[in-house]
Amino acid sequence: MITLFDRLFLINHQLPTSLLKTFSLLSDPKLNLLILGVLSIYLFIRKGVSSFSRPILYLFACTGFIMFFCGILKICVGRARPFLLDEGIAGFFFFTVKHSYLSFPSSHAALAMCFTRALQKRFSLPLIFYLYPIAIGASRVLLFAHFASDVVAGLLVGIVVERLLSIYYERFVESIKKLGSPKAS
């Protein structure tokens, strides 16, 4: 029998959960890939590769690489999600493709960290903006979608992917500049 206390708890619990899900959606890799992909195509058609479209294209590349690397790691590791603990299921199920076993690493946290680092470098944002990936990670833990270690690994993946992309991007821009400059005779 459900008591009045239980009903009040369920009502009060639904609001924070829906707010956490909405907040967590800000860093959903599939949604970001779709939005940034459409925006990249639009900007490329409208303006070509301009100083305005480059950061969007860079964020689009970040999203794609995060999805790729996290996807590979998730399938290889096959960690059961926290909500499966209620069913007595825990641990690692290597090379599993079911969503319930794709907990490690958190791609939401990886994408949030990658975006934060990219935007911080581009626009010199204050360090307080690093609270965003931490908050995204905390929301994933509170929603029982990830363990804390999954989030920490996701944050590290985000740092590594952004760093590798920034190095490649700088080299790519330099090679384009060399191609465009006239040759000395």
Indicate whether 18 belongs to any domain: no
Indicate whether 2 belongs to any domain: no
Q: What is the pLDDT of residue 173?
A: 63
Indicate whether 184 belongs to any domain: no
The ranges of the chain with pLDDT < 50 are 1-13, 184-185
Indicate whether 48 belongs to any domain: yes
Query: 85 is in which domain, residue-wise?
Result: 26-169
Indicate whether 6 belongs to any domain: no
Indicate whether 51 belongs to any domain: yes
Rounded CA gap, 120 and 7, in Å? 44
Please state the domain count of the chain: 1
Indicate whether 4 belongs to any domain: no
Q: What is the pLDDT of residue 43?
A: 74
Is residue 78 within 8 A of residue 95, CB to CB? The reply is yes
The DSSP string of 49-113 is S-TTHHHHHHHHHHHHHHHHHHHHHHHHH-BPPGGGGGGT--SB-TT--SGGG--SS-HHHHHHH
Rounded CA gap, 146 and 141, in Å? 5
Indicate whether 12 belongs to any domain: no
Q: What is the pLDDT of residue 33?
A: 81
23-69: per-residue pLDDT in tens? 777 778 888 888 888 887 777 777 666 666 677 778 888 888 999 99
CA dihedral 21→25→28→33, nearest 10 degrees, is 160
